[in-house]
């Protein structure tokens, strides 16, 4: 009995020695370099050499997920890969800082962009134009509401297509999408009306002005950057801010000494918000 117990201890000791000797702790060891024959692109990728409890040699690498390769022998190997994907189990945050940026390389550039009207016109000319490649060039006007799901549009003639723009919610940090037409949506004010009476004054007479009401128009100084978004016309001729007119809240003030105005002259105001 005692002899059997000693034999068992020796066996356990040998097994422990074997396990320890199989571990690679030196991060400069050449055995951490995976053989070129394993990489499909011929490159050398660093990996960790492992030996399982049955003595099988394996190589473990982390590259777009976890990849386990059983053997370096091209005719006798098993590759098991766990890649990124699936459904999140909880909110997931990746924090970047001044020294560690989060970035993506290799993203495809959308070129030769088409509006929906341009795409429809091309398809009307030739049905063969309606391909997944051309659909990907369209500024999406029919993006799926709510949560997106590429699987529903994976066919060549999916119900939703084109591209949207990713934006970040500053409150939650969540990545969301927005249609380009909504992102670049421009709001503005336009008013056109006729002068009700003559304001042709004697240059030697006291200066006269005309108030031309424009609801929603902010007060703008001639040196204000917003002045570049304001256009005022008299009978189609562009007037000069600070010379021909000034801008107060909700109105344009025309200087009739600079711009003599007559009945039925048309004043048009365009302002881009």
Is residue 230 classed exposed, middle or buried when 0-12, 13-18 and 19+ CB atoms within 10 A define those classes? buried
Model confidence pLDDT, tens digit, residues 38-64: 445 555 455 666 677 777 776 666 554
Distances (CA, A) of 139 to 90, 113, 133, 160, 182: 32, 7, 13, 11, 11
Helix, strand, or coil here: 196?
coil
Q: Where are the domains of the chain?
A: 15-82, 116-183, 188-272
| pLDDT score of 25 more than 60 | no
On whether the 188-272 domain is CATH 2.60.120, my answer is no
Q: Record the tokens describing residue 108, joined without a space.
A: 């495809």
Cα Rg of the chain (Å, integer) = 36
What is the structure's pLDDT at 260?
A: 84
Model confidence pLDDT, tens digit, residues 176-211: 988 887 887 778 899 999 988 776 655 565 557 889
């Amino acid at each position: 009995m005692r002899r059997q117990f000693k034999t068992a201890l020796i066996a356990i000791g040998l097994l422990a020695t074997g396990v320890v000797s199989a571990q690679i702790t030196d991060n400069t060891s050449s055995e951490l370099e995976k053989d070129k024959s394993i990489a499909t692109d011929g490159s050398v990728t660093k990996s960790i050499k492992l030996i399982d409890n049955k003595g099988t040699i394996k190589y473990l690498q982390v590259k777009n997920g976890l990849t386990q390769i059983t053997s370096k022998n091209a005719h006798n190997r098993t590759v098991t890969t766990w890649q990124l994907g699936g459904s999140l189990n909880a909110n997931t945050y990746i924090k970047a800082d001044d020294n560690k940026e989060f970035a993506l390389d290799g993203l495809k550039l959308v070129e030769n962009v088409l509006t929906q009207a341009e795409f429809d016109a091309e398809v009307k000319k030739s049905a063969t134009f309606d391909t997944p490649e051309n659909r990907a060039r369209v500024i999406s006007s029919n993006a799926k509401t709510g949560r997106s799901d590429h699987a529903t549009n994976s066919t060549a003639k999916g119900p939703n297509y084109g591209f949207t723009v990713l934006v970040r919610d500053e409150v939650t940090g969540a990545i969301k999408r927005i249609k380009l037409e909504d992102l670049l949506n421009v709001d503005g004010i336009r008013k056109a009306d006729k002068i009700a009476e003559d304001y042709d004054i004697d240059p030697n007479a006291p200066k006269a002005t005309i108030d031309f009401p424009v609801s929603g128009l902010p007060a703008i100084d001639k040196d204000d950057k917003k002045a570049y978004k304001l256009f005022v016309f008299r009978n189609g001729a562009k007037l000069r801010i600070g010379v021909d007119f000034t801008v107060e809240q909700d109105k344009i003030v025309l200087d009739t000494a600079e711009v003599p105005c007559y009945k039925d002259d048309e004043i048009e105001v365009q302002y881009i918000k």
